[in-house]
Amino acid sequence: MHVTKPVGRVAAVKKYDILSALMAHGLAGEPGLQRLVFRLMSLITTRYNWQRNELVTGQREIARLWCVDERTVKRDMARLRGLGWVVVKRQGARGRVSVLGLDLERILTDTRPSWPNIGEDYVLRMSQDVKTAPAAGNVVPFRRTETPVAGGGPDLWGRVCAQLLAEDPSSFDAWFKALVEVGQGEGVLHLAAPSRFHANYLRMHLLGRLQSALTRVDPTMHGIHIDAP
């Protein structure tokens, strides 16, 4: 999927279209998702730089905007990263906050089933602006239909998948479902990711969750290694 950047004379319309997609997706979901989407939309409308695709604000400021504590901010921002909607462009250091960005292609892919709730004119307009492109380079082929859900299978990775799916279906579908077991040895489970970007993201942000699920399924296993193409 390729998304035309919301810049130029039609920038305002495209921005509203993206926010509308999020709104429709949230309203069609359960209360927890509605709250998460509303909080993301508040950050987009108050702090997001559309031209540079940057969101630069600290957890304390976000907590004040959301009227919650910083622990809630950490939890919900982790959920947004797990969905792939928010990405870390530059990690914070020495008192500087992290520079975040939005994966608009991922957001529009996930919200597409809710577009008809807005109207046929919206679906037609968005279908013209958003076109499918072949995966290349470091684009992650999310929701690959040829990859079966391994949950409940007799193999180790199948049982780990069942654990991950039960804990967080959205993160499972976005990040774990495409992984393939390639072997085991000396207490380490070896998995293959569909792209280098996918593997790097898992190593940086979700390796702890993978290892925790693995340990719960088989306490004799103590590590996970993720290979990239």
Examine the domain organization and report whether 121 and 161 are in the same domain: no
Residue 179: predicted pLDDT: 93
Distance between CA 204 and CA 40 in Å, rounded? Answer: 22
* 72 domain-assigned: yes
CATH assignment at residue 167: 3.30.300.180
The pair of three-digit structure tokens given for residue 190, joined into one six-digit string: 């070896």
* 144 domain-assigned: no
Question: Per-residue pLDDT for 117 more than 70?
Answer: yes
pLDDT, average across residues 165-177: 83
Examine the domain organization and report whether 127 and 160 are in the same domain: no
Residue with more model confidence, 214 or 147: 214
- Name the DSSP class of 96: P
Question: Per-residue pLDDT for 132 more than 80?
Answer: no
Smallest Cα–Cα separation from 85: which of 156, 36, 137, 135? 36
Cα separation values, 202 from 81, 100, 144, 146, 167, Å = 11, 17, 17, 21, 17
Examine the domain organization and report whether 93 and 21 are in the same domain: yes
* 56 domain-assigned: yes
Report the predicted TM-score, pTM, of the whole model to 2 decimal places: 0.56
Cα separation values, 186 from 57, 210, 222, 224, Å = 43, 17, 9, 11
Examine the domain organization and report whether 126 and 161 are in the same domain: no
Kind plus residue range of the DSSP H or E element containing 100: strand 99-102
Examine the domain organization and report whether 188 and 107 are in the same domain: no
Contact 103, 82 (CB under 8 A): no
- 143 C-beta neighbours (distance < 10 Å), count: 12
Examine the domain organization and report whether 86 and 120 are in the same domain: yes
pLDDT, average across residues 157-179: 86
Strand partners, 183: 190
* 69 domain-assigned: yes
Supply the range of the domain harboring residue 80.
2-131
Residue 163: predicted pLDDT: 85
pLDDT-derived band at 109, boundaries 50, 70, 90:
confident
Residue 226: predicted pLDDT: 92
Beta strand segments in 4-58, E? 48-49, 54-55
pLDDT-derived band at 3, boundaries 50, 70, 90:
low
Domain termination residue (choose one: 131, 164, 186): 131
Question: Per-residue pLDDT for 142 more than 50?
Answer: no
Examine the domain organization and report whether 76 and 114 are in the same domain: yes
Examine the domain organization and report whether 9 and 119 are in the same domain: yes
Question: Per-residue pLDDT for 198 more than 90?
Answer: no
Question: Per-residue pLDDT for 1 more than 70?
Answer: no
Domain termination residue (choose one: 114, 131, 148): 131
Question: Per-residue pLDDT for 12 more than 60?
Answer: yes
Distance between CA 56 and CA 89 in Å, rounded? Answer: 10
pLDDT-derived band at 229, boundaries 50, 70, 90:
confident
Question: Per-residue pLDDT for 21 more than 90?
Answer: yes
* 52 domain-assigned: yes
CATH assignment at residue 28: 1.10.10.10
pLDDT for 52-70, tens place per residue? 999 999 999 999 999 999 9
